[in-house]
Amino acid sequence: MQQKIALKDQNLESRIYSARTVTAIVIVLALLGVVLGRYYSLQIEQYETYRTQSERNRVQLQPLPPKRGLIYDRNGVLLADNRPSFLLSIVRERVADLDATLAELQSLLEISEQDLKRFNKKLARSRPYEAVPLRFRLNEEERATLAVNRHRLPGVVVDAQLLRHYPHGELFSHALGYVGRINEREAQVLDETDYRGTFHVGKVGVEKYYEDVLHGTVGYQNVESNAHGRVLRVLERFSPEPGANLTLHLDYAVQKAARDALGDQRGAVVAIDPHTGGVLALVSTPGFDTNLFVNGISTADYSALRDSLDVPLFNRAVQGSYPPGSTVKPFMGMAGLESGLMTPQSTVPDPGWYKLPGASRLYRDWILRIRGTGHAPQVDLKMAIAESCDVYFYDLARRLTIDRMHDYMAEYGFGDRTGVDTTNERRGVMPSTQWKRSAMGQPWYPGETISAGIGQGYWLATPMQLAAATSVVALRGERRAPRLLKAINGEEQQAPLLKPVEGTPEHWDAIFDGMREVVHGERGTADYLSQGIAYEMAGKTGTAQVINIPQGEVYNEEEVAERHRHHGLFIAFAPLDAPSIAVAIIVENGGGSSAAAPIARAVIDTWLQGETVARVPG
């Protein structure tokens, strides 16, 4: 039987094809609708959001830190400089895996735990797309290593910056201070905008006191970069304003002469130009290398400075409070004259000791141990200053009383800050009955007045206070606040005038005569300074006890531990007829004024020699 052959159903196939075509078109249109919807969402609804993100990836606003102002001495010697250096930074937003990147960097160069800790703290408070420093002071080999591996380190940036450098290291450590990295506490106080891109700030001394002047104003630039963060071009730039350059009154030669004269001794030297108030020298020994602090001092170096018995970080010139000893006798003499309690010719009997009326205790004169008696049967003001007669000033102190002493000495600035333009200055102590009652809750005793009369007991002064007070005497009462700053960008700055110390010419003459006799008199306590001297100097020696000496016992320096020996002090001004420099020196545990007086001669010689050279034409 013949089979039937099935014929093709054209209509059915046509319907199937049409259905499939319609289905495909619907699917395509649906997908196209999704694409168009998404396109609408991205380009219309979220346009601003994605445009901003795109621009942020392509265009960055970079801060341009200002150049820190330079610091010079009065003769143009550079004291604080800026030197180029390279630092390694990371832009967090351009790093896919920060931990992996840090591990990679540690395999390429040395990165300490301290570096990482500092980086993480800075990263936590950084802005988006801000380069956060990881390592400072990259050397040439490290920069080359990073350049070779740059393709593997997206988001890692090597930038050049200027770092503070102190070419004279320790010599000006306490006068200038130093800059250091901004810490968390400072970051909260400083203007975040003005310090963008800046990693250092003044920490102490002139660097901190004049931070606002030295820092300058931050600038910025808009740059276009590629996906790897490499800058392609600068779109616009607003240059930073550099910090102002400072010229100080400090004189390099005088500063060096003071430092060399102190040598290995602990102490301080302050020299002031009385006419301007300019601080010509500010030395505290021992000092330290300020460059150690610029990029973060190591733990070992800081521990050595912190734990040293000589406390090199302590600025003795403005922070050290010492009994001024007999250096106060010229000021005491002027107080006695101006109060009307005596005249230059008034005399006091001097058996070598003094006794309060109705009391049995003997207050000995230092000369008693040497001569077995006093300076002379009768002592006047000139002899009392020249030979440092304690008995004379014991009697004057008793008659003045401690409260009148306080009021007279306050006129010279004792018991208060001088206002010198540096940090951490102390007030010292000028005692009074009210002071002791407030500080100790105790009454004042007459014997304490006797001790204060020769600069002992509760009376404490800083070398800066002594130098400032000496400059007041040098100018016969004219008083200026001491100043380190001489000029800003070449524009002279005047030290403020303070209330003068009133005194009659005859009284000032009497003080000058006594202080001249200290150096140039046959029995002056510093007569050895006059050997070979080419000018006249007015001075006053001083010795300050470190430990109490019981009544009736004798101080023997050879039997006393070195750090228990007396401090040596000396104040002076010169030339006598036209003073241009006033100095105050303390040598801790120097044994007496003989350790301090030669330092004054070295400083004044250097200053006056420089003045002479400056006056010679050509």
Give the Cα separation of 278 and 485 in Å (integer): 7
Cβ-based burial of 337 (10 A; exposed 0-12, middle 13-18, buried ≥19): buried
Q: Both tokens of residue 497? A: 């005038």
Secondary element (H or E) of residue 100: helix 98-108
At 14, list the tokens.
């046509």
Which candidate, 420, 416, 166, places its Cα nearest to that of 270? 420
Alpha-carbon dihedral 338, 344, 350, 355, rounded to 10 degrees: -10
583 CB-near residues (< 8 Å, 6+ apart): 269, 270, 271, 272, 281, 467, 470, 570, 571, 572, 573, 600, 603, 604
Task: Residue 544: count other Cβ atoms within 10 Å of its Cβ.
Answer: 25
The rounded distance, in Å, linking the Cα atoms of 477 and 499 is 9
Helices H / strands E in the chain, number of each: 23, 21
What stretch of H or E contains 437?
helix 433-440
Helix (H) or strand (E) holding 520: helix 505-520
**DSSP assignments along 136-183, one per residue:** -S--HHHHHHHHHTGGG-TTEEEEEEEEEE-TTGGGGHHHH-EEEE--
Q: Which of 89, 326, 388, 432 is catalytic?
A: 326
Could you identify the residue written with the tokens 């973060």?
A: 296
Element (H, E) at 14: helix 10-40
Tell me, yes or no, if 326 is annotated catalytic.
Answer: yes
Is 301:308 a contact under the CB 8 Å cutoff? no
Do the bridges between strand 156-165 and strand 353-354 make them parallel or antiparallel, or are there none, so unpaired? Answer: unpaired
- Can the peptide bond before residue 349 be classed as cis, meaning omega within 30 degrees of 0? no
Query: 333: exposed, middle or buried (C-beta count within 10 Å: 0-12, 13-18, 19+)?
Result: buried
Cα 133 to chain centroid, rounded: 26
Q: Which helix (H) or strand (E) covers residue 107, if one does? A: helix 98-108
Among 481, 480, 476, CA closest to 502: 476
Cβ-based neighbour number of residue 182 at 10 Å: 17
Q: How far apart are CA 591 and CA 451, in angstroms?
A: 19
User: Checking DSSP bridges between strand 246-248 and strand 71-72, what pairing results, if any?
Assistant: parallel
Alpha-carbon span 201 to 161, nearest angstrom: 14
Q: What end-to-end distance do the CA atoms of the chain give, in Å?
A: 142
Which sequence positions are flagged as catalytic?
326
